[in-house]
Structure formats: structure tokens, C-alpha cells
Structure 1
Amino acid sequence: MFDIFGMPIQVIMGQVAIGLINGSFYAMLSLGLAIIFGLLNIINFSHGALYMLGAFVGWMLLNYLGINYWFALILVPIIVGIFGVIMERFLIRKLYHVDHIYGLLLTFGIALMIQALFLNLFGVSGQLYEVPELLKGTLNLTFMYLPIYRGWVLVASVIVCGSTWYLIERTKLGSYLRAATENPQLVQAFGIRVPTLITLTYGAGVALAALAGVMAAPVYQVSPLMGVDLVIIVFAVVVIGGMGSIGGAIIAGFGLGIVEGLTRVVYPEASSVVIFVVMVIVLLVKPSGLFGKAV
């Protein structure tokens, strides 16, 4: 059976599945970026380095301490999240009342330092992280054989993204977070410690990047450069979804993963730039992004 592109439907569906898996990482990373920008107004350019840091912490826990993948899924976001809390408390907090460019430059500098540290320690070669025993093997989807681990990544990312969206948009804690960014003095008057709330929010956004890093470790080689190109793509995803839009980041992440996968079928040479082409078109038509609010 052939579709409108003159390609077997199995090939099309296979690329859609691969696109969804890539979109899982785009969605989780862009979600963390959207939380940090939407609630704190900080452009966190260190997000790719923190994603890499999460992968390396998971790898070191396994190889140096014997802590397996399942425990790493819990421990790594906590460890890297604490590092994010320290960053916010002693560095980023000082920039909340100045132009966004200073926060971007600071986080970019932090990213370069983290990357340089791991390049000195491990070099440019990637480190292998074995797929956990429970998730080895493949699933026969009739149109392709899908590795069980990649299917797990897709399901887990949907759960994480959906839970985070619900927490921020539909719970009392989420309403406190949004109110604290819009009118911190009023929220403080009700006895809520706004600085602590903001610090924990930044730590949570960083923890999401670290969680994505752990989940990516068995799919890609753990390398100091693994977040360099990805962070540029993720920023494009956030811009397309709408800067600060939590739901927009999730939808754009998964959607653009599919677009990227289908482009590999139609015109493979353009697959590496199609997301940026979409970004340019969206900015021309709706500068605030698909789900963003005009300022």
C-alpha cells in the first residue's frame, strides 16, 4: 500500500513512531524551559548542559556506585535539581530585575563551564549506558519493530508532561506559582514564602531536564556534547509553542517530532532544519507563538 508520497505506509508509520520518540525528549526539555521562562522570566540557556549533566550523573551512579536505572530515575532529578536550586539561589536570583539578556548570558556561561568540565574529564567520546533488563527486546507493531525501551520513553514522557501540566494549570500550587510571578507582594502578604517558591520552581524545571537526560542515556551515547545541538532545537520548540506556554511546549514538542520524522520520508536533507523553518513561519504569522499570549 502506498500513500500520497509514494512510500509504503509502513515507512510512514515507522517515521511517525521515531518522530514521537524524539518528540518525547523535545517535549520534556521544552517543558522545563517553559516553566522557567513562563514563571520566572529567565531564559535558561544552560538547559542543554543540565540535560547532559543528568545523563552523566545517571551513568556515574551505575558505573561507580552500582545504582541501577530505576533508582537513577528518582535520584538524578533530585541531585541535579539541588544543583539548580543552588544556581538560582546564589546566581540567577540577582538578575530577576534586570534585562533578560543578562540571565541568558549568565546561564550560557554556566553551560560552557559544565560542558568544559566534562570534556576535560571524559573527552568527546560517548559512554554507553545499557538498557535495563526489564525493557530489552522489541515490540512487533506490524509496520515496524519498536524497541521496548523507546516505547517506554514515549509513555513515560506523556505521563510526566501531562502530570506537570495538570500540576501547574489545575491545582492550588500552580495558582500560587502563577500569582507569585504576577504579584509577589500580594502573595507574600498571605504568608507564602515567594522566594522559596521561586527557587523550588527553578529546581523543578532543572529536574525535568535531568530526568530527560537519564531517559536519553540508553538511547544516545552519554557525551559532554549531547546537549549542545539539542538545546537550540528545544528553544525553537518553545518559541513555536509560545514562550512560557506550558501546554504549547508539550504539544509543539511532540508535534514537531512528528514533522521532523515525516520530513525524513519526503525530503531527508531538510529534516535537520525543518523545525527552524516552521519557527520562522510561525513567527511571521503569530510572533507570540501558537499558544502564547501577545504582550
Structure 2
Amino acid sequence: MQIFGITSQELFGQLLLGLINGSFYAVLSLGLAVIFGLLNIINFSHGALYMLGAFLALLGLNHLGMNYWVALLVAPAVVGVLGVLVERLMLRHLYKLDHLYGLLLTFGLALVAEGSMRYFFGISGETYPVPEALQGGADLGFMFMPLYRGWVVVASLTVCFGTWYLIERTPLGATLRAATERPQLVQALGINVPVLVTATYAVGVALAGFAGVLAAPVVQVNPLMGSNLIIVVFAVVVIGGMGSILGSIVTGIALGIVEGLTKVIYPEASGVVIFVIMIVVLLVRPAGLFGKQA
């Protein structure tokens, strides 16, 4: 059977690739949405933290013998600790200023991180092996699905919707939202607001580190892997609505699939289709698909 002049197996293969890319878009845009939605910081260093997560997994394997499953826990934790240091030493002084100051600071941090990794490791990519338990694939009849690709989708969706549920449907999430909207009132109730703010930023950047570990066996680990992705992820956040957690998740997955379909129907447009959609959405609904209109 052929669709758009290609076989159904090739079509489903592209859709799977789009779903995998959408999973990465969702996790990364989720971290950006958490940080902006709760702290009003546009974190342009998110791509660099994604890259650091992948490098931590690779360095842990090569020098410490740390396997993939341990790296999936340790690398995001280390990136989260770095986030704590950045928030406490730098970002905390910018909360009352214009968003531009936070963007410029995090952009500078991204350049420092990327430049440092290029100095020590060069720009050539290194391969991270697929964990033994997830090697091979499954024959679905209409296509052959690599097990690791399937794992990426399941893990990404689990983390995304788990984070959404935590923030939107639990007392802890309600406290976090209250602490960012009415910090004096929450502080008066005996809750340590600065600690909550720091923890929120740490969780947001840890999501980037988690995505980096997931991506390590799929892409070449190199210092430029974050900068190549972050512009697309920002477009996803804008389309979904700045600060909208559910919007970032749904939009990230949907746009990954749209990008995959475009590679089948009109490959030349696959690199710009997300930005075309962003322009259209901004013209029709400036706050984004899930954002609140001013």
C-alpha cells in the first residue's frame, strides 16, 4: 500500500521519528514552561543544559562505568544542582527586573557552557550505546519499531504528564503557584518561598538533563546538540502558550508528528514548518493555543 507515493512502512517510520522528536520537544518545552510560568524567567540556557545531561551520561559511562539507568537518575540530579547554584547566585537578583535581563544572563551562560565543552571535547560527536535491555526491535506488522525509540516515547510522556499532574493537581503544585503569584502571603503562612523558587528552577533544568540522557543513544553527543534544538523548542513554547505546561506537552508532541508528516509530503519544508505554524498562531492568537489572553 502506498500513501503520498511512498509505502505505508516508510510513512509509519517517519511518523515514529516525528513522535520521537515530539517527545524531546515536549520534555524540553515543559522545562521552559515550568520555569517561565512559575518564575517568569526565559531560560535560554535550556539547550546547553540538555547538552550537559547527555555529556554527563557519556562521561559517567567512559570514566566511572555508570550504566544508562543510573545516568538517567544521576545526570538530571547533577544538572538540577547546577540549576540551584545558578538560581541562588545569579537569577534571584533578576526576578523584579524585565524579562530581557534573565534572557541575556541565561544566553550568556549557554555560550559559556557550549564554549567550554567545545574547548575540552571538540565539535565531533561521540556515540552513546543503546542499553542492552533496549537493543533490537519489535515487528508490528506495518513497521519495525526499535525498542529504544519506543522507550523514549513512553519515558517522555510519563515524565511530562507526571510533572503536569504534580503542578496542576496536587497541594504541592498549588503551593508552588501561590508562592510565585503571592509570595508575601505564602511567606506569612510559614512557607519558605525562596526554597520553593529554587526547587522549581532545579526541577525545570533537571528536565533538560533528563532529555539529554534520553537523546544520547539516539543522536551524536556533541557541544552543539543543544543550540541546534533550542530555537525549535522556543517556537513550540510560543505556539503552546508561554508558561502553559499542558500546552507545551501537547504542542511539542503534535508538532513533532507534523514535522514527520511534512518530511513525507514535502521534505523541503520540514525545516521551517514549525516556524510557519508559529507565525500563523501568533497572528491569530498571540497568547498561544493554550495561553491566557491578556
TM range (shorter): over 0.9
Displacement of 1:145: 1.4
Higher mean C-alpha displacement, 152-161 vs 141-150: 141-150
1:128 to partner: Cα distance: 1.1
Partner of 1:282: 281
CA distance in 2, matches of 1:230, 1:139: 29
Which amino acid in 2 is paired with 1:81? G
Give the match for residue 230 of structure 1: 229
Deviation at 1:6, TM superposition (A): 4.1
Q: Which whole-Å deviations, capped at 9, do the CAs of 1:259-290 have from their partners, x for residues lacking one? A: 00000011001101110001001001100000
Partner of 1:168: 167
**Is contact 1:33-1:205 (8 Å) kept?**
yes
Does residue 8 (structure 1) correspond to residue 10 (structure 2)? The answer is no
Q: Does 1:192 align with 2:191?
A: yes
Alignment pair present for 1:145 and 2:150: no
Please give the secondary structure, in 2, of the residue aligned with 1:78: helix
Amino acid at match of 2:136: G
Q: Does the CA contact (< 8 Å) of 1:11 and 1:143 recur in 2?
A: no
| Contact kept in structure 2, 1:119 and 1:224, CA below 8 Å | yes
CA deviation profile, 1:123-147 (whole Å, cap 9, x unmatched) = 0001111111000001112222111
Aligned equivalents of 2:227, 2:73: Cα separation in 1: 25
Per-residue deviation, 1:171? 0.2
- Write the letter of the residue equivalent to 1:168: I
Q: Distance in 1 between matches of 2:223 and 2:143?
A: 32
* Counterparts of 2:115 and 2:12, CA distance in 1: 40
**For residue 289 of structure 2, what is the amino acid of its counterpart?**
L
Matching residue of 1:85: 84
Specify the SS of the correspondent of 2:42.
Answer: coil
* Counterpart code for 1:140: D
Stretches of 4+ aligned residues off by more than 4 angstroms = none
Q: State how far apart, in whole Å, the 1-side matches of 2:220 and 2:43 are.
A: 24
Report the alpha carbon displacement of residue 9 of structure 1 after superposing the two structures with TM.
2.8
User: Which residues of 2 match residues 33-72 of structure 1 at below 5 A?
Assistant: 33-72=32-71
Look up the equivalent residue of 1:2 and give its one-letter code. Answer: Q
Q: Distance in 2 between matches of 1:147 and 1:89?
A: 42
> Is contact 1:69-1:132 (8 Å) kept?
yes
Mapping 1:230-249, distance limit 5 Å: 230-249=229-248
* Structure 2 CA distance for aligned equivalents of residues 82 and 29 of structure 1: 18
**2:95: which partner in 1?**
96
What one-letter code is carried by the residue in structure 2 that aligns with 1:237? V
Paired residue type of 1:63:
N
What RMSD over aligned residues (CA atoms) do the two structures have, in Å?
Answer: 0.8
Distance in 2 (CA, whole Å) between partners of 1:286 and 1:138 is 42
For these two proteins, the number of residue pairs brought into alignment is 294
- What is the match of residue 259 of structure 2? 260
Name whichever of 137-146 and 33-42 sits farther off: 137-146
Distance, in Å, in 2 between the alignment partners of 1:241 and 1:76 is 28
**Secondary structure at the residue paired with 1:146?**
strand
Alignment-mate amino acid for residue 43 of structure 1? I
Separation in 2 of the partners of 1:178 and 1:122? Answer: 40
What SS is found at the alignment partner of 1:96?
coil
Percent identity (aligned): 66
Whole-angstrom distance in 2 between the partners of 1:6 and 1:57:
43
